[in-house]
């Protein structure tokens, strides 16, 4: 069971609210410019004190979304609100520093993200100093304890730590400035399987004990179910389904979600891995005929409509019309990308 956050969180406005977020990348020279849409019209709310999982295969746009939300990347279009404030249009002095304090990121690679010449202490002290906060030794030690590390490790160098320990330092660094929201981009995918669950448990604890909101990015639906309150599925730069984690895993509505799920090992599922079924699922994602909403005439290729197919604890379970957009070149690229068929971690 995924522990649920207190019911009161549902009534508070979301910490972050994203509307119509679109990101285009351009490439090529002056006369051969090609535009590539990495994100298209993403709508996403991250409620207070909740973990939202963003799930999708490699290349679906997960990191681009995280980078836009962290303001490391400028969106082409759309709106990002932090506590109701439209952050892309705020020009106030210091607003950007305040934003970077409120929204922290944990990256995928715990080996590349910590400069090897510094002791652990440096990584925790620096964000505090940058944000003009006192960096007391006792605060640093408390941070270490919060993330499950021995406080004496403040004097260690990154190479003296394991991958899991480094990722805990990265989490401590993110927590140092008391963020409202942590964006964790595949924080466990480069760690040994044996230490992954420790990081996931740490995230759950931070939510439950400190009401920290999190966007947990992963390609692994099983870990999303384990850690997140809700799951949002990203396919080719567009959200195609969302809802309560358990409900979404029990009753996936979109063929793309079904495809992702078919790769998740499930002890209760007895039938063997079936490559023919998986190929059929993969094909169905791009087949307009597979869309049950097409006949209703309620949506079209140009009008994205979210169909609500259930509700759990006040959380709507919605699925987007399969007809809308999936047949784009980006969608084909994501679907045919070399994703190992048995991939799960």
Q: Which residues bind ligand ADP (CB under 6 A)?
A: 25, 36, 38, 56, 58-64
257 binds, among Mg ion, ligand ADP, none (CB under 5 to 8 A by kind): none
Q: Please, where are the H alpha helices in 103-254?
A: 120-130, 137-146, 163-175, 193-210, 221-227, 245-250
48 binds, among Mg ion, ligand ADP, none (CB under 5 to 8 A by kind): none
* Residue for token pair 């990191």: 63
Dist. CA 121–CA 144, nearest whole Å: 10
223 binds, among ligand ADP, Mg ion, none (CB under 5 to 8 A by kind): none
Tell me how far, at minimum, the Cβ of 146 lies from ligand ADP, in Å: 28
Tell me how far, at minimum, the Cβ of 21 lies from ligand ADP, in Å: 12
Query: Helices then strands (H, E): number in the chain?
Result: 11, 12
Reference 316, options 325, 307, 326; nearest CA is 307
- Please state, as a whole number, how many other Cβ atoms lie within 10 Å of the Cβ of residue 326: 27
b/e per residue, 290-321, with b = 16+ CB within 10 A? bbebbeeeebeeeebebbebbebeebebbbbb
Instruction: Read off the tokens for 103.
Output: 């929204």
Tell me how far, at minimum, the Cβ of 335 lies from Mg ion, in Å: 17
61 binds, among Mg ion, ligand ADP, none (CB under 5 to 8 A by kind): ligand ADP
Tell me how far, at minimum, the Cβ of 218 lies from ligand ADP, in Å: 10
Dist. CA 64–CA 51, nearest whole Å: 19
Tell me how far, at minimum, the Cβ of 185 lies from Mg ion, in Å: 6
Whichever of 62 and 225 has its CB closer to Mg ion, that residue is 62
- Print the binding letters for residues 45-74 with Mg ion: x by CB under 5 A, - otherwise: -----------------xx-----------
25 binds, among ligand ADP, Mg ion, none (CB under 5 to 8 A by kind): ligand ADP
- Print the binding letters for residues 270-289 with Mg ion: x by CB under 5 A, - otherwise: --------------------
Site residues for Mg ion per CB under 5 A? 62-63
């Amino acid at each position: 069971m995924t522990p649920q956050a207190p019911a009161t969180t549902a009534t508070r406005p979301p910490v972050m609210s994203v509307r119509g977020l679109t990101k285009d990348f351009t490439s090529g020279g002056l006369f051969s410019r090609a535009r590539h849409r990495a994100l298209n019209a993403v709508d996403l709310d991250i409620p207070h004190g909740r973990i939202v999982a963003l799930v999708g295969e490699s290349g679906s746009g997960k990191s681009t979304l995280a980078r836009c939300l962290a303001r490391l990347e400028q969106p082409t279009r759309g709106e990002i609100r932090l506590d109701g404030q439209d952050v892309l249009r705020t020009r106030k002095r210091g607003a950007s520093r305040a934003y970077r304090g409120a929204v922290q990121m944990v990256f995928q690679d715990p080996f590349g993200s910590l400069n090897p010449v510094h002791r652990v202490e440096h990584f925790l002290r620096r964000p505090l100093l940058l944000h003009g906060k006192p960096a007391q030794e006792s605060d640093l030690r408390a941070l270490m304890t919060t993330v499950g590390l021995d406080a004496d490790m403040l004097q260690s160098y990154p190479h003296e730590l394991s991958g899991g320990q480094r990722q805990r330092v990265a989490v401590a660094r993110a927590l140092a400035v008391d963020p409202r929201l942590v964006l964790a981009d595949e924080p466990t995918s480069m760690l040994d399987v044996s230490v992954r669950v420790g990081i996931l448990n740490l995230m759950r604890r931070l939510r439950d004990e400190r009401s920290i909101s999190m966007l947990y990015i992963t390609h692994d639906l099983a870990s999303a179910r384990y850690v997140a309150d809700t799951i949002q599925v990203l396919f080719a730069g567009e959200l195609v389904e969302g809802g309560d984690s358990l409900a979404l895993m029990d009753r996936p509505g979109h063929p793309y979600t079904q495809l992702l799920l078919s790769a998740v090992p499930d002890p209760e599922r007895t039938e063997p891995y079936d490559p023919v079924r998986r190929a059929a699922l993969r094909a169905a994602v791009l087949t307009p005929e597979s869309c049950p909403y097409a006949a209703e005439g309620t949506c079209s290729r140009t009008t994205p409509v979210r169909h609500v197919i259930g509700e759990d604890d006040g959380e709507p379970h919605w699925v987007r019309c399969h007809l809308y957009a999936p047949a784009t070149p980006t969608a084909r690229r994501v679907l045919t990308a070399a994703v190992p068929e048995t991939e799960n971690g």
